[in-house]
Amino acid sequence: MNTKFKATVIRKAIKVSCRMHWLGKTAKHIDVRHSHIDTAHGSIPLRIYQPPGEGPFPVVVYYHGGGWVIGDLGVYDPMCRDLCNRSDCIVVAVDYRLAPEHPFPAAPEDCLAALKWTYEHIELYGGLPNAIVVAGDSAGGNLAAVTALQARECLPNVVKGQVLIYPVTDHYEPGTPSYLENANGPVLTRKLMIWFWDTYLKNSSVLEFGQTRHPRATPLARNDLDNLPPTLLITAGRDPLRDDGANYAMRLEQFDNTVQYSLYADSCHGFVGLQGPKADHIEATEEISTWLGVLFSA
């Protein structure tokens, strides 16, 4: 099965799966507006989720998961509605370009552009440009972490916090204990994660042959993790990426950043957002909402 065909098959399957898990449980009362960003590489679609009330509201810029290969605004619509509803924040969901059609660094380029657009335009939607957090799950957690690092240099003081949900933070080689313990899943397997990484990096315009680490792809490998905003980092115990998140939390703390780390020991990859509003999803989104409330009231 070639890469593009495999990506198409998985994209369709995840849409059906997520739709079934959220059937009849979506926060329909949340207002959703559509926008886009025009770039030299084309248009980046956005969805802006607005909570009830007058506002102005704090803002979460959300980057979806899917190994940089799958996932889209439709798949993550229930998750973004739920997060908006529970947190009382505007959520800006970003439909960044996916591999293999658009390999690294297309995704981090789009994610930074979306943050810049949000900072410049969110007042028009009732948002606070001085109260913006970046967030994401899995590959989206990777992109949120990378965007916070990029913004530190080119958009200083714009990002007030980052919510990283079982983020990818390093390449699969040399690997971690959680990659071996959870090699067969559930949900995410080691084999699938390897395919995601290989698909994301293949044909990259900025990597040399055989290169697997880059400042905009593997934040764990960086030595400049100082002066980053407060972080909430959530991991799942039954997940190949558990140690990616735990190790990144430790690295952030080593650089004197403020970190709240939570391990959901009995949960698996995708428990936030993709498997419907089960008990652990509700607990995690309530933790995120509480953390955001404390951050923005400080």
Kindly tell me if the per-residue pLDDT of 298 is higher than 90.
no
Q: Is 26 exposed, middle or buried (0-12, 13-18, 19+ CB in 10 A)?
A: middle
Q: What is the mean pLDDT of residues 216-225?
A: 98
CA distances from 175 to 164, 179, 224, 240, 244 (A): 20, 6, 22, 9, 9
Q: Are 143 and 107 in contact (CB under 8 A)?
A: yes
Q: What is the mean pLDDT of residues 265-281?
A: 98
Full domain range(s) for residue 128: 3-297
219: number of Cβ within 10 Å: 28
CA distances from 232 to 83, 113, 170 (A): 15, 23, 18
Q: What percent of the chain has pLDDT over 70?
A: 100
Quote the tokens at residue 165: 């949900």
One DSSP character per residue, 106-143 reads HHHHHHHHHHHHHHHHGGGGTEEEEEEEEEEETHHHHH
Name residue, tokens 């390897």.
194
pLDDT band at 227 (very low <50, low <70, confident <90, very high): very high
Kindly tell me if the per-residue pLDDT of 33 is higher than 90.
yes
Instruction: Report how far residue 121's alpha carbon sits from residue 225's, in angstroms, rounded to the nearest whole number.
Output: 28
Q: How far is Cα of residue 265 from the mean position of the Cα atoms in its chain?
A: 20
DSSP 272: T
DSSP 161: E
One DSSP character per residue, 200-215 reads HHTT-SS--TT----T
Q: Has 138 been annotated as catalytic? A: yes
Kindly tell me if the per-residue pLDDT of 1 is higher than 80.
no
CA distances from 221 to 172, 213, 244 (A): 12, 8, 11
Q: Are 200 and 173 in contact (CB under 8 A)?
A: no
Instruction: Report how far residue 217's alpha carbon sits from residue 220's, in angstroms, rounded to the nearest whole number.
Output: 9
Tell me the pLDDT tens digit for each residue of 40-96: 999 999 999 999 998 899 999 999 999 999 999 999 999 999 999 999 999 999 999
Task: Report helix, strand or coil for 24.
Answer: coil
Beta bridge partners of 37: 44
Name the CA dihedral angle for 172, 176, 180, 185, rounded to a multiple of 10 degrees.
Answer: -70
User: Which pLDDT score is estimated for 211?
Assistant: 97
Q: What is the mean pLDDT of residues 233-242?
A: 98
User: Which pLDDT score is estimated for 228?
Assistant: 98
Phi, psi (degrees; rounded to nearest 5) at 256: 65, 30
pTM more than 0.75: yes
Quote the tokens at residue 270: 């995708």
Mean pLDDT of the chain: 97
User: Which pLDDT score is estimated for 161?
Assistant: 98
Count of structural domains, the chain: 1
Quote the tokens at residue 190: 């080691």
Catalytic residue among 138, 262, 267, 297: 138
Q: Is 103 exposed, middle or buried (0-12, 13-18, 19+ CB in 10 A)?
A: buried
Of 12, 66, 15, residue with least CA distance to 188: 66
pLDDT band at 174 (very low <50, low <70, confident <90, very high): confident
- The CATH number of the domain holding residue 81 is 3.40.50.1820
